[in-house]
């Protein structure tokens, strides 16, 4: 009996995943532990390994989005045949085609969703990756197959069309009822609509005769309104998750901010000294260490408000916001309160490199109890960060700026390096005085940097 390969749960918050790329040909032999597919989750894109051996029979297409637990492939033993249904790869042809990443046909969803011009789905849509074919919104059906978008015809029948093809048809005034589909089971795909639109544009020109003057091309304003032409870009799955979580944060977390400035003149001197002895650590590494020690002393800042209760975490795990290509990823430095700043520096460099190389793993993104977001390297002196759901606070760190301050002795002035710290807090668990005490402790530690070395 074939072994079913299900969409794996690759992160603690993953509900569905997108097949970015198959790494084994349909019908290819697979050994246990072989990498068979790249899957985009709500946090990163990662490879998935087979937990059994056999001949791979694909059930899902590249670009298709399926719920966790839904079948994506089968592993066939000697002499075994697929349990039923065509391979997604075989139905569409090679992945290099213009519409190779479109999902296979399935039962149509309700009329109301289709008539509204949106693909029917039970949750959040996901975008097919832009690595080859068209970028298309793939609705999440919560089952093994993805719903096919259909457009109603005048005769009451229905024409099967992909969501992207239907959107292009609306934009270019193409009647889908007159378009012949080249996709599986006659489904209309992007190339079909574009070809029909070109034929429709050429027909009036031919009717006018060879000597008829060509119509003037519409200006940018006429074609796209006052804003000119509009390019619609579907967000990636990670970008969708970020948007959803940030919306959740602003809608459900009653946040407030407390701010202060830390004199980091001595910290910068210590950092230069460490660098001379090949023990490099960034300002942000010192901030992570200072926050970790302060979190140990202020347990509510290391907690969260959930289900009407306070959750106080045993471990101090500091998330560090890292800008990836077109997205934001927050890998975790575990037990940061117990590590010297040089070890934190080595970890954060390694994690940032994995984010840039798209090699970060779910365990490295999970378990954060607090977050540090630093934009100082971009010259930003002050900003406000959004609290991550499931945490009590997030610290926004600005650039260190030299300013004239009153001298400690006499009536003169001295130049000191000052750094803005802004703490955004969930007021349901962290109150004003507690937040102020925590932030004051972070400032105190940064102004006494030698205490952060070990």
Percentage of residues in the chain with pLDDT exceeding 90?
43
Instruction: Check residue 8 and report its DSSP letter.
Output: P
Instruction: Characterize the bridge pairing of strands 3-6 and 54-58.
Output: unpaired
**Mean of pLDDT values over 406-423:** 89
The whole domain housing 419 covers 255-452
Side by side, the strands of the sheet bearing 35-40 are 45-49, 35-40, 16-22, 65-67
Compute the CA torsion angle 432, 438, 439, 444 (nearest 10 deg).
140
Each residue's pLDDT tens digit, 322-363: 988 778 899 999 999 999 999 999 999 999 999 888 888 888
Domain assignment of residue 365, yes or no: yes
With a cut of 60, say whether residue 437 has pLDDT above it: yes
Domain assignment of residue 296, yes or no: yes
Domain assignment of residue 272, yes or no: yes
* pLDDT at res. 300: 97
- List 57, 277, 313, 427, catalytic entry: 427
The CATH number of whichever domain residue 352 belongs to comes to 3.30.559.10
* pLDDT at res. 63: 81
Region label for 277, one of left (φ > 0), alpha (ψ between -120 and 50) or beta (otherwise): alpha
Each residue's pLDDT tens digit, 163-201: 667 778 877 888 888 888 876 567 787 788 888 888 775
Helix (H) or strand (E) segment spanning residue 306: strand 303-306
With a cut of 80, say whether residue 447 has pLDDT above it: yes
Can you tell me which residue has the tokens 């068979």? 36
Can you tell me which residue has the tokens 């804003």? 227
Mapping DSSP onto H, E and C, the string for 151-220 reads EECCCCCEEEECHHHHHHHHHHCCCHHHCCCCCHHHCECHHHHHHHHHHHHHHHHHHCCCCCCCCCCCCH
C-beta of residue 51 within 8 angstroms of C-beta of residue 34:
no
Domain assignment of residue 111, yes or no: no
pLDDT-derived band of residue 219, with 50, 70 and 90 as boundaries? low
pLDDT-derived band of residue 315, with 50, 70 and 90 as boundaries? very high
Each residue's pLDDT tens digit, 18-44: 888 899 999 999 999 999 998 887 667
* pLDDT at res. 184: 57
For the chain, the domain total comes to: 1
Give me the numbers of helices (H) and strands (E) for the chain, helices first please. Answer: 11, 22
C-beta of residue 264 within 8 angstroms of C-beta of residue 423:
no
Domain assignment of residue 203, yes or no: no
Report the C-alpha gap between 357 and 371 in whole angstroms.
22
Question: What's the gap between Cα 345 and its chain centre?
Answer: 25
Q: Both ends of the chain: CA-CA distance in Å?
A: 58
As given in the structure block, the two tokens for residue 222 are: 């006429």
Burial of 155 (0-12, 13-18, 19+ CB in 10 A): exposed
Report the C-alpha gap between 223 and 215 in whole angstroms.
14
Question: Annotated catalytic, 57?
Answer: no
Question: What's the gap between Cα 359 and its chain centre?
Answer: 14
Adjacent-strand bridge partners of 394: 371, 424
Three-state SS at 19: strand
b/e code 438-451 from CB counts within 10 Å (16+ = b): bbebbbebbeebee
Adjacent-strand bridge partners of 17: 66
Domain assignment of residue 426, yes or no: yes
Domain assignment of residue 248, yes or no: no
Domain assignment of residue 61, yes or no: no
Q: Which residues contact 267 (CB under 8 A, 6 or more apart)?
A: 283, 286, 446, 447, 449
As given in the structure block, the two tokens for residue 214 are: 């060509």
Q: Which of 139-148, 236-245, 262-271 has the highest mean pLDDT?
A: 262-271
CA distances from 134 to 77, 81, 116, 233 (A): 35, 32, 23, 11
Three-state SS at 357: coil
As given in the structure block, the two tokens for residue 425 are: 């807090």
* pLDDT at res. 371: 97
Report the C-alpha gap between 292 and 319 in whole angstroms.
10
Instruction: Characterize the bridge pairing of strands 35-40 and 16-22.
Output: antiparallel
Report the C-alpha gap between 102 and 98 in whole angstroms.
9
* pLDDT at res. 200: 73
Side by side, the strands of the sheet bearing 54-58 are 3-6, 71-76, 54-58, 29-30
Angle at which helix 283-297 crosses helix 432-447, to 10 degrees, equals 130
């Amino acid at each position: 009996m074939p072994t079913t390969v299900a969409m794996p749960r690759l992160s603690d918050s993953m509900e569905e995943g997108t097949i970015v790329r198959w790494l084994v040909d349909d019908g290819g032999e697979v050994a246990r532990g072989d990498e068979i597919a790249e899957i985009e989750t709500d946090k990163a894109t990662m490879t998935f390994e087979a937990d059994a051996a056999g001949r791979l029979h694909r059930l899902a297409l590249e670009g298709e989005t399926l719920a966790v637990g839904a079948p994506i492939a089968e592993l066939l033993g000697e002499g075994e045949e697929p349990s039923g249904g065509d391979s997604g790869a075989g139905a569409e042809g090679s992945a290099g085609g213009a519409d190779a990443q479109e999902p296979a046909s399935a039962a149509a969803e309700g009329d109301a969703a289709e008539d509204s011009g949106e693909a029917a789905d039970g949750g959040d849509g996901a975008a097919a990756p832009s690595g080859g074919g068209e970028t298309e919104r793939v609705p999440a059906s919560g089952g093994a197959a993805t719903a096919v978008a259909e457009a109603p015809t005048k005769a009451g029948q229905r024409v099967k069309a992909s969501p992207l093809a239907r959107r292009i048809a609306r934009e270019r005034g193409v009647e889908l009822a007159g378009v012949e589909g080249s996709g599986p089971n006659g489904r209309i795909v992007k190339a079909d609509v574009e070809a029909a639109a070109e034929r429709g544009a050429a027909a009036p020109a031919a009717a006018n005769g060879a000597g008829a003057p060509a119509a003037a091309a519409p200006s940018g304003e006429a074609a796209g309104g006052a804003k000119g032409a509009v390019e619609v870009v579907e967000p990636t799955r990670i970008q969708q998750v970020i948007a959803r979580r940030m919306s959740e944060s602003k809608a459900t977390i009653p946040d407030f901010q407390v701010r202060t400035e830390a004199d980091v003149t001595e910290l910068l001197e210590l950092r230069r000294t460490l660098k001379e002895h090949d023990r490099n650590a960034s300002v942000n590494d010192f901030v992570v260490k200072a926050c970790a020690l302060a979190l140990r002393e202020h347990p509510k800042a290391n907690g969260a408000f959930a289900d009407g209760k306070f959750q106080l975490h045993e471990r101090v795990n500091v998330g560090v916001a890292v800008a990836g290509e077109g997205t934001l990823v927050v890998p975790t430095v575990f037990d940061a309160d117990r590590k010297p700043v040089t070890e934190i520096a080595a970890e954060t460099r390694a994690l940032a490199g994995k984010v840039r190389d798209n090699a970060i793993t779910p365990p490295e993104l999970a378990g954060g109890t607090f977050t540090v977001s630093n934009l100082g390297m971009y010259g930003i002196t002050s900003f406000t960060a959004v609290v991550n759901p499931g945490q009590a606070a997030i610290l926004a760190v600005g650039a260190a700026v030299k300013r004239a301050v009153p001298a400690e002795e006499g009536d003169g002035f001295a130049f000191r390096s000052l750094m803005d710290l802004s703490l955004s807090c969930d007021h349901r668990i962290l109150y004003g005085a507690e937040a102020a005490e925590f932030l004051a402790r972070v400032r105190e530690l940064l102004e006494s940097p030698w205490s952060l070395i070990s």
